[in-house]
Amino acid sequence: MERLRAAIVGTGGIARAHARALQAFPDQVELVAATDVDAGRLDKFGDEWSVPGRYPSLAEMLAGERLDLVHLCTPPGVHAGDAIAVLEAGATVVCEKPPCVSLAEFDRIADVESRSPGHFVGIFQHRFGTAAEGARRLVDEERLGRPLVAVCHTLWYRDDAYYDVEWRGRWDTEGGGPTMGHGIHQIDLLGHLLGDWTELSAHAPRLARDVETEDVSFAYMTFANGSVASIVNSVLSPRQESYLRFDFERGTLEVSHLYGHKLDSWTYTPVQGHEGDDPPAWPPAEPDVPSGHQAQMAEVLASLRAGTRPATTGAGLRRTVEIVTAIYASSFTGQRVRREDLDADNPFYHQLDGRAHA
């Protein structure tokens, strides 16, 4: 079977996670090209990962290579333009989080995707691996009963020096603070397990970091199935933790980790007094595959080989951007935000601080 041809745009730190994931599947895909505005960084990356094609720009790379997959590892503010260029060239985009910096950008990408043989795939690796996939099966099969209450915490720490990188902490280049850049991972898994949402109220102050964006946010939201959730995102928390808790009628599922989870990161607690009543199959009996770029890449490659749509695309991916948008819209306006409020007449649809089209 002919191997797929992959390329990477942007050769900073996160590009290594993408290169490592690609190299885990040598019979299915090969990393043939990369591009970066910094020639020295590009050559260092190319030497490290044995990349033969090295280009000063995305346009030159697309003109010079036949590509099936293009991984975007660039700052968030340029994702949309690069994704559209790749889709117009007929390749599939694998985009590091966040997928873009507004719903308007997402919808422009989706419009081009609808006419392209390629797909727009967002990297949300916490959906993948044995534990997350097992949790999704329990929800889909209603083995735990109705979902009732959820907690979604991303409590991380980033000091002032972290924001010395020119594009961080700015609305135009990063799109937001920890809600967009950090907590979006857990927010995505929350929505993946609980489905569509209906309304949200939030507060997103700037307490300690000298940035344009928030450095902490709090939200309360309701899902279409009636369940409720609280969300906290922070870069001010010295004891770091990524934590999600799901309380169902018949038990509680929890996961605590930092940047990736596996089976022993999860716990299941049945309702007291009903421990033996048709217990769900937890933990899953399959081999323990951790969450991560490699686990998601396995799904992407399998989908492309089968001619099916990869998992983190389309409406499910848009839902994650919607929730982030609603947190900012509610915080700036002090009002509850309903899902149907986030249309093209809403300034937050166009820019997450609401300035565009205001």
Mean pLDDT of 63-92: 98
| pLDDT score, position 278 | 75
Confidence label for 208 from pLDDT (cuts 50, 70 and 90) = very high
3-state secondary structure the chain: CCCEEEEEECCCHHHHHHHHHHHCCCCCEEEEEEECCCHHHHHHHHHHHCCCEEECCHHHHHHHCCCCEEEECCCHHHHHHHHHHHHHCCCEEEECCCCCCCHHHHHHHHHHHCCCCCCEEECCHHHCCHHHHHHHHHHHCCCCCCEEEEEEEEEEECCHHHHHCCCCCCCCCCCCCHHHHCCHHHHHHHHHHHCCEEEEEEECCCCCCCCCCCCEEEEEEEECCCCEEEEEEECEEEEEEEEEEEEECCEEEEEEECCCCCHHHEEEEECCCCCCCCCCCCCCCCCCCCCCHHHHHHHHHHHHHHCCCCCCCHHHHHHHHHHHHHHHHHHHHCCCEEHHHCCCCCHHHHCCCCCCCC
| Average pLDDT of span 211-234 | 98
Q: What percent of the chain has pLDDT over 70?
A: 98
Residues 103 and 151: their CA atoms lie apart, in Å, by 25
pTM of this prediction? 0.97
Please say whether the beta carbons of 145 and 250 come within 8 A: yes
pLDDT, position 356: 55
| Mean pLDDT of all residues in 114-130 | 98
Residue 214 CB contacts under 8 Å (≥ 6 apart), including other chains: 176, 177, 178, 179, 204, 205, 206, 331
- Residue 357, pLDDT above cutoff 70: no
- Per-residue pLDDT, averaged over 246-253, amounts to 96
Select 126-295+325-333's CATH number: 3.40.1190.20, 3.40.190.10, 3.30.360.10, 3.40.50.920. Answer: 3.30.360.10
Q: Could you give the residue range(s) of every CATH 3.40.50.720 domain in the chain?
A: 4-122
Query: Of 191-200, 279-288, 289-298, which gets the smallest average pLDDT?
Result: 279-288
| Percentage of residues in the chain having pLDDT higher than 90 | 96
The mean per-residue pLDDT over the stretch 72-99 comes to: 98
Report d(CA 343, CA 346) in Å as an integer: 6
Task: Band the pLDDT of 161: cuts 50, 70, 90.
Answer: very high
pLDDT 10s digits, 169-195: 999 999 999 999 999 999 999 999 999
Question: Model confidence over 251-264: pLDDT tens digits?
Answer: 999 999 999 999 99
* CATH class, 4-122 region: alpha beta
* Structure confidence at residue 74 (pLDDT): 97
- The residues of the chain that CATH labels 3.30.360.10 are 126-295+325-333
Least confident of 205-214, 274-283, 318-327: 274-283
- Mean pLDDT score across all residues of the chain: 96
Confidence of residue 279 (pLDDT cuts 50, 70, 90): confident
**pLDDT number for residue 272:** 87
pLDDT, position 358? 42
CA distance 41 to 32: 17
